[in-house]
Amino acid sequence: MGRRTVHQPVQRGRPARQRIRAGGEMKSWCFVMLLCAAAANAAADCAPDALGTSRVLTLKREYAAYGTVQHGPLPLEKGEVVLTFDDGPNPETIGGVLRTLASQCVKATFFMTGANLARHPELGRLVVQAGHTPALHSFAHPPLKSMAASEQLADLAHGMQSFTDVFGYAPAAYRFPFLEETPAILAQLKEHKVTVASIDVGIEDYSPNDMRSAALVGRLVDRLRQTGGGIVLMHDANGPTAEALPALLKAIHDNGYKVVHLRWE
């Protein structure tokens, strides 16, 4: 399949200390104390019954395509979900979204638009400082299929540049606006070794759908029951989604799903 995955367990609290004791060969107490302090801080940020991030899935920087709405699945176990957020960063919602994720010790992937990154570079960096994975969602979120190939490629180039200006490296993953894939952009992504990120589960968290929290949670639970897990698409830039996020995470927790954090090498 040409793709390589690395599964890393997430180290948290007590297990980290146990690993250090078991090793018995630590050369520096300073190092031990730093690790303990980091673990204590991480634990302090989480509620005792937090959802948590069960593991990290690190993907190679390459052209690949995931998400069963359009492509094959990510290498996930049944019951594992990957949380993805589109269309930000939005100054009105990002603070609350990051706080909610932090309170549950959950890491996600944010597909941000180049236009929003150019307007709010500090918010893009805040997402990364919080430990989440940044990815690209076009520059201006245009309807690509109605545009000439040259215009499509200009939007992609603009988006890649905005992303690189903010983070200092090129995006490893791209999600098409409206999931509308086009041959011109696919060819470009292939050339630049950028992974296409489609989805497995959508909760239709945009108008004119019912955006009340209970409706969003209901759709999430229904779809997850159908797929058994996978890549979940939410829109952090939408107020109702940001407001419903505690309830959405609670539903994931209560139904026994485990959160996997996607990263790229």
The residue number with the shortest CB distance to Zn ion is 86
Q: Which residues pair with 56 in a beta bridge?
A: 8, 261
Of 80 and 155, nearer to Zn ion (C-beta) is 155
Closest separation between CB of residue 239 and Zn ion, Å?
A: 15
Closest separation between CB of residue 87 and Zn ion, Å?
A: 4
Buried b / exposed e over 243-263, threshold 16 CB at 10 Å, is bbbeebbebbbeeebbbbbbb
Closest separation between CB of residue 2 and Zn ion, Å?
A: 28
Of 53 and 133, nearer to Zn ion (C-beta) is 133
Closest separation between CB of residue 147 and Zn ion, Å?
A: 16
Of 80 and 86, nearer to Zn ion (C-beta) is 86
Closest separation between CB of residue 84 and Zn ion, Å?
A: 11
**Structural tokens at position 176:** 């098409």
Of 105 and 123, nearer to Zn ion (C-beta) is 123
CA distances from 169 to 54, 88, 136, 161 (A): 27, 19, 12, 9
User: Rounded to an integer, what distance in angstroms lies between the CA atom of residue 163 and that of residue 157?
Assistant: 10
Of 80 and 87, nearer to Zn ion (C-beta) is 87
- Interaction site with Zn ion (CB under 5 A): 86-87
Furthest CA-CA distance within the chain = 63
Rounded to a whole number of angstroms, the distance between the first and last alpha carbons of the chain is: 17
Task: Count CA atoms closer than 13 A to 98's CA, side-chain side.
Answer: 20
